[in-house]
């Protein structure tokens, strides 16, 4: 127990229950906890949670949800000012919104829910778990429909899937799948016997996509198998029933219908992760086989004494040379350390951090080195990818290069276009995204308006918040050392800055 004496002193002690005015309370008396009995099926809870995703001012009523979802939303809604007309959903953003509001988090922790345990389940004569089978339609129906169309040409199934999408996306998605189907139809008949030999490079990519869909369907089947193996409720209930109880103590039991009181709110984390509203496109610059590979770090030959020289790369270069680049006599390119590799490594890490937070993240290249030529066409393809996915954020990641070793510093560039709203939003993003970045000192004039008219920031990129970051000069020994030895930290700092911006608007 915690007693407060005077104004500030806190004392840990036991309070005598013999004193007057102190009520004795049993530890089993959960007087401060909201108790909810939930009787609907697992699928209904899932659907109820899903329905919250379309909640808005015209559809805010809590009465349409199952009791657990309703109580959870009642608490989550309190994070918003009542005049703001904002309403919580069962998604990661709504839960994140109460993290810094202890009153609300503790209310959420005090929901006691009486429900059937996830570790309890009846297996039917075919070995299937009925309550999880009921979720098949939600988990894999869309993927199965797409697969049936692509492999068997079942157009009704494609339509069934397309109808689940927002109207604005339907036409382009449909066209995309029809195009894909035409390409699959042109596969040689016997390609399955040896896809690697019989398909060309483009076809192999398509083949991999189809395989991924098949994997998704399989993954849900495997999940159900796993759940089946992990059910322990019945075994424990039977085991407890057999135990001899010591005299004068109540027997430990578990109900035989799998129902119990749970202290955790609905475990919808994974569900929420998949349903975040934000799409962030990360564009690691360059990376093509041909064309510019971006800036490259160097292997330096430098003076040690009057007649002696030594050679070292960024990792082994002595500090005195880093500090005094006039000691450098010559340099050659370091094939191991270049801009395209650095920005790719940072982007992959940044993607992981954002995904953990529940955002949808798309990389404009998913490999260190991809086919094609670095140029206007491939840059346009990156823009098209962002537009197609209605990106909310577009972050292009680069590093600078210069002939002069002393050119150093990082900066972030926002668009210079006629749409003043996009310019303002992007500038704010630029400021936020660099508010945490200090791996390479930020140039005093950053953020900069795009005087170079960079293609990825132009009007054809419809993303409202778009910036290009230059992490530092790879050709400066000082910057390059900091950059290549702090990839995790760079990703972390960009992440914090981006999150700062996201929190303001979403």
| Interface characters, 445-484, with Zn ion (x: CB under 5 A) | ----------------------------------------
Minimum Å distance from CB 399 to Zn ion? Answer: 6
Task: By CB under 5 A, name the one of 398, 427, 478, 481 that touches Zn ion.
Answer: 398
Minimum Å distance from CB 339 to Zn ion? Answer: 5
Angle at the Cα of 291 from the Cα atoms of 289 and 293, rounded to 5 degrees: 75
H helix runs in 121-162, sequence order: 130-133, 136-152, 155-162
Q: Which is nearer to Zn ion, 294 or 497 (CB)?
A: 294
Q: Which is nearer to Zn ion, 199 or 471 (CB)?
A: 471
Minimum Å distance from CB 377 to Zn ion? Answer: 17
Judge whether 482 and 476 are in contact, CB under 8 Å: no
Four-residue CA torsion sign, 497, 505, 45, 114: positive
| Interface characters, 284-323, with Zn ion (x: CB under 5 A) | -x--------x-----------------------------
Minimum Å distance from CB 343 to Zn ion? Answer: 7
Stretch that binds Zn ion, among 133-141, 152-160, 390-398, 413-421 (CB under 5 A): 390-398
Q: Which is nearer to Zn ion, 294 or 477 (CB)?
A: 294
Query: What is the chain's percent helix, strand, coil content, to nearest 5?
Result: 45, 20, 35
Write out the binding residues for Zn ion, residues 192-251 only, by CB under 5 A: none
Long-range contacts of 483-490 (CB under 8 A, 24+ apart): 483/342, 483/399, 483/439, 483/440, 484/297, 484/314, 484/315, 484/337, 484/342, 485/315, 486/439, 487/342, 487/345, 487/346, 487/349, 488/349, 489/439, 490/346, 490/349, 490/437, 490/439
| Interface characters, 251-290, with Zn ion (x: CB under 5 A) | ----------------------------------x-----
Alpha-carbon distance of 270 to 427, in angstroms, equals 33
Number of residues that bind Zn ion (CB under 5 A): 3
* Torsion angle in degrees (nearest 10) through CA of 8, 10, 14, 15: 10
Q: Which is nearer to Zn ion, 116 or 283 (CB)?
A: 283
Stretch that binds Zn ion, among 200-208, 273-281, 297-305, 391-399 (CB under 5 A): 391-399
| Residue of this chain nearest to Zn ion (CB atom) | 398
The pair phi, psi for residue 111, each rounded to 5°, is: -85, 120
The pair phi, psi for residue 110, each rounded to 5°, is: -100, 15
Binding status of residue 340 toward Zn ion by CB under 5 A: no
Write out the residues near Zn ion by the rule CB under 5 A.
285, 294, 398
């Amino acid at each position: 127990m915690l007693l407060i004496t005077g104004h500030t002193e806190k004392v840990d002690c036991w309070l005598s229950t013999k004193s007057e005015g102190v009520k004795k309370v049993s530890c089993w008396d959960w007087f401060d906890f909201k108790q909810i009995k939930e009787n609907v099926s697992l699928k209904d809870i899932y659907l109820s949670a899903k329905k919250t995703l379309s909640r808005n001012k015209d559809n805010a009523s809590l009465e349409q949800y199952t009791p657990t979802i309703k109580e959870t939303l009642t608490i989550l809604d309190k994070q918003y000012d009542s005049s703001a007309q904002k309403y919580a959903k069962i998604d990661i953003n709504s839960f994140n919104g109460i993290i810094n509001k202890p009153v609300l988090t503790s209310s959420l922790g005090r929901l006691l829910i009486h429900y059937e345990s996830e570790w309890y389940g009846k297996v039917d004569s075919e070995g299937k778990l009925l309550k999880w089978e009921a979720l098949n339609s939600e988990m894999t129906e869309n993927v199965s429909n797409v697969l049936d169309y692509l492999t068997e040409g079942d157009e009704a199934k494609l339509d069934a899937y397309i109808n689940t999408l927002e109207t604005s996306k339907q036409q382009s998605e449909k066209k995309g799948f029809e195009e894909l189907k035409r390409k699959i139809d042109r596969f040689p008949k016997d390609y399955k016997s040896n896809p690697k030999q019989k398909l060309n490079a483009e076809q192999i990519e398509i083949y991999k996509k189809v395989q991924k869909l098949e994997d998704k369907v399989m993954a849900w089947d495997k999940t159900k198998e796993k759940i089946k193996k992990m059910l322990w409720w019945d075994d424990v209930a039977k085991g407890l029933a057999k135990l001899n109880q010591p005299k004068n103590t109540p027997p430990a039991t578990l109900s035989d219908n799998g129902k119990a009181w749970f202290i955790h709110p609905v475990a919808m984390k994974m569900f929420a992760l998949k349903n975040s509203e934000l799409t962030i496109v990360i564009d690691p610059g360059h990376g093509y086989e041909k064309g510019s590979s971006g800036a490259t770090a160097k292997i330096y030959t430098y003076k040690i004494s009057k007649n002696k020289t030594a050679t070292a790369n960024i990792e082994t270069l002595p500090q005195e040379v880093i500090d005094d680049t006039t000691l450098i006599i010559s340099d050659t390119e370091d094939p191991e350390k270049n801009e395209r590799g650095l920005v790719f490594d940072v982007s992959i890490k940044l993607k992981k951090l954002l995904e953990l937070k529940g955002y949808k993240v798309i990389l404009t290249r998913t490999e260190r080195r991809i086919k094609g030529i670095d140029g206007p066409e491939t840059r346009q393809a990156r823009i098209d990818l962002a537009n197609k996915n209605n990106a909310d954020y577009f972050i292009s990641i680069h590093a600078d290069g210069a002939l002069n070793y002393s050119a150093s510093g990082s900066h972030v560039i926002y668009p210079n276009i006629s749409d003043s709203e996009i310019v303002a939003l992007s500038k704010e993003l630029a400021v936020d995204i660099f508010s945490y970045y200090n791996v390479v000192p930020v140039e005093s004039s950053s953020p900069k308006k795009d005087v170079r008219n960079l293609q990825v920031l132009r009007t054809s990129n419809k993303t409202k918040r778009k910036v290009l970051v230059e992490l530092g000069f790879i050709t400066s020994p000082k910057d390059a050392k900091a950059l290549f030895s702090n990839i995790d930290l760079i990703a972390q700092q960009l992440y914090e800055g981006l999150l700062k911006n996201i929190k303001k608007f979403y």
